[in-house]
Amino acid sequence: AQSVTQLGSHVSVSEGALVLLRCNYSSSVPPYLFWYVQYPNQGLQLLLKYTSAATLVKGINGFEAEFKKSETSFHLTKPSAHMSDAAEYFCAVTSINTGTASKLTFGTGTRLQVTL
């Protein structure tokens, strides 16, 4: 079975500070990993995805994430937080090798708060 663990249900940063949201995965086969963002009362929007190409993935809105197999991690970062980044962020995993290619398994989410 595949799973992701997001460390920290709430993260607060000052505007302009580094954003670091942690995600660790568990998978017995090569994973595909995703970060999604959810604004209040809205659906999820894809930020970026790792699909076994480059280990450093750049996404929208200045976010990026690095796949580290040795650490089974896929942490999301942004050098400088904006007020508009305040939202819920979800890490997710799937794989095409398990016969469960239809399933995207999400973490429990991290709520990012950005303060002045």
Residues within the interface to other proteins (CB under 8 A): 32, 34, 41-46, 49, 51, 90, 92, 94, 96, 100-109
To other proteins, the closest distance from the beta carbon of 37 in angstroms equals 11
Query: Is the sign of the CA dihedral 103, 46, 6, 28 positive or negative?
Result: positive
In angstroms, rounded to a whole number, what is the distance separating the alpha carbons of residues 3 and 19? 23
CB of 16 to other proteins, least distance (A): 29
Whichever of 22 and 49 has its CB closer to other proteins, that residue is: 49
CB 38 within 8 A of CB 23: no
Nearer CB in complex with other proteins: 17/86: 86
Q: Which is nearer to other proteins, 40 or 116 (CB)?
A: 40
- Taking a C-beta distance cutoff of 8 angstroms, is the pair 58, 64 a contact? yes
